[in-house]
C-alpha cells in the first residue's frame, strides 16, 4: 500500500469523522475536528492512500506537544500507518523545537501502548478514572525530544 503522510486539510474532515466513528465510543464530530484543526499550534497529520486512512492530532502549548488522537481505519491496520504518523509528528515537533510530546491512553489499550512504546514513548504515570464510558485509568506516556534538531 502506497501511503503519503500530509498535513491535515479541511477537505479531509468528513472522511476522518467516519474513521472516528469506526474507532471510538465517543467519536469527534466534523465540527469538533474542524475546531481542533483551526486552533493555534495544532499539528494534525493524515495518512493518505490516497483516501484518508488514519490521522494523528497534536496540540502544542509553548514547547509542549499533547497528542489528542491517533486513529487508523480498521481495514488498514497493521500496515505501519500509525507508526509512520508518529514518526512524521516527531519530525515536525523536533523542527518546531518542542521539548516533549505526551498523551493519555486507556490502560487496557494494548495495541496503542505497544505502538507508543515502539515509537520511544515511556510511561510517566497514571491518571485514576480518567476515562468514562467505560470508566478506566489512563496511562501517561511521554516522548522526550532532542532540542538540538530544531530549526
Minimum distance of ligand COA from residue 18's CB (angstroms):
13
Q: Which is nearer to ligand COA, 8 or 81 (CB)?
A: 81
Q: Which is nearer to ligand COA, 59 or 79 (CB)?
A: 79
The question of whether 136 is a catalytic residue gets the answer: no
**Number of helical H runs and strand E runs in the chain:** 4, 7
Instruction: Give the span between the Cα atoms of 8 and 10, in whole angstroms.
Output: 7
The question of whether 116 is a catalytic residue gets the answer: yes
Nearest one of 119, 58, 118, 51 to 92, comparing CA atoms: 58
Residue listed under C-alpha cell 505501519: 80
Minimum distance of ligand COA from residue 92's CB (angstroms):
17
Q: Which is nearer to ligand COA, 109 or 150 (CB)?
A: 109
Residues that bind ligand COA (CB under 6 A): 23, 70-72, 77-83, 105, 109-112, 114-115, 118
CB 141 within 8 A of CB 106: no
Give me the catalytic one of 20, 36, 55, 116.
116
Count CB-CB contacts under 10 A for residue 92: 18
Instruction: Give the span between the Cα atoms of 113 and 151, in whole angstroms.
Output: 30
Minimum distance of ligand COA from residue 145's CB (angstroms):
19
**Catalytic amino acids?**
104, 116
Amino acid at each position: 500500500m502506497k501511503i503519503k503522510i500530509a498535513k491535515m486539510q479541511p477537505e479531509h474532515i468528513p472522511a476522518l469523522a467516519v474513521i472516528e466513528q469506526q474507532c471510538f465510543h465517543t467519536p469527534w464530530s466534523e465540527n469538533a475536528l474542524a475546531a481542533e484543526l483551526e486552533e493555534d499550534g495544532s499539528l494534525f497529520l493524515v495518512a493518505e492512500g490516497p483516501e484518508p486512512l488514519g490521522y494523528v492530532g497534536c496540540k502544542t502549548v509553548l514547547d509542549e506537544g499533547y497528542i489528542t488522537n491517533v486513529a487508523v481505519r480498521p481495514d488498514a491496520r497493521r500496515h505501519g500507518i500509525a507508526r509512520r504518523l508518529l514518526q512524521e509528528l516527531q519530525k515536525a515537533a523536533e523542527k518546531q523545537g518542542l521539548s516533549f510530546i505526551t498523551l493519555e491512553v486507556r490502560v487496557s489499550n494494548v495495541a496503542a501502548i505497544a505502538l507508543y512504546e515502539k515509537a520511544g514513548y515511556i510511561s510517566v504515570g497514571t491518571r485514576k478514572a480518567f476515562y468514562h464510558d467505560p470508566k478506566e485509568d489512563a496511562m501517561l506516556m511521554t516522548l522526550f525530544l532532542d532540542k538540538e534538531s530544531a530549526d
